[in-house]
Amino acid sequence: MAPGADRAPARTDPRYWSHALNQQPTPRTYGAYQARSIATRLAHLNEYLTRPGTPPDTVAVLADVFDPEHGALAAFATLAATASRFAQQQATQGLLPPEVWLALGRAANELNDIGLDLDEHLDTLAAARTPSATPVPVPLVVRRHR
């Protein structure tokens, strides 16, 4: 056996995430499988975006992730809203504490607010899909609008 063959791949190795997923118990329901699959895919995307020498299509990837209609953030905000409605039904039946329903509702609202905050910058991300011939570096000093 080669040295280190009995160990898990390093976090920087894309095989790490599939190895880590295989160490988890097998999901028992379709919903649990879907949740684990989404989490794994997001972990893969994060790993892709954090690699040194990230390819130039990264801006296009970010524009797709934060797309207000079809992006992952919008889908996750919708999921949080759906979970809040489900928790409300469960809370009215006494199966969940009302605090769970309220927390999920706040999370859904916060995700929606984050999407609205990013909305003003989506045109810039979309325009950056086709980079100009000569990018111009700028200092990263930004003042917040109050």
What is the tens place of the pLDDT at every residue in 7-25?
555 555 555 555 555 555 6
Q: What DSSP state is assigned to residue 86?
A: H
- At residue 126 the predicted structure's pLDDT band, cuts being 50, 70 and 90, is confident
- At residue 1 the predicted structure's pLDDT band, cuts being 50, 70 and 90, is very low
* CA-to-CA dists, residue 65 to 30, 46, 95, 125, angstroms: 24, 11, 34, 11
- pTM equals 0.69
- At residue 52 the predicted structure's pLDDT band, cuts being 50, 70 and 90, is confident
pLDDT at 144 over 80: no
pLDDT at 2 over 70: no
Could you give the 3-state DSSP secondary structure of residue 37?
helix
* Residues 71-114 pLDDT 10s: 999 999 999 999 999 999 999 999 999 999 999 999 999 999 99
Q: How far apart are CA 14 and CA 51, in angstroms?
A: 10
Q: What DSSP state is assigned to residue 51?
A: S
- Decide: 87 and 100 in contact? Cβ < 8 Å: yes
CB neighbour list of residue 27: distance below 8 Å, 6 or more residues apart:
33, 35, 36
Q: How far apart are CA 90 and CA 110, in angstroms?
A: 22
Residue 46 or 129, more confident: 46
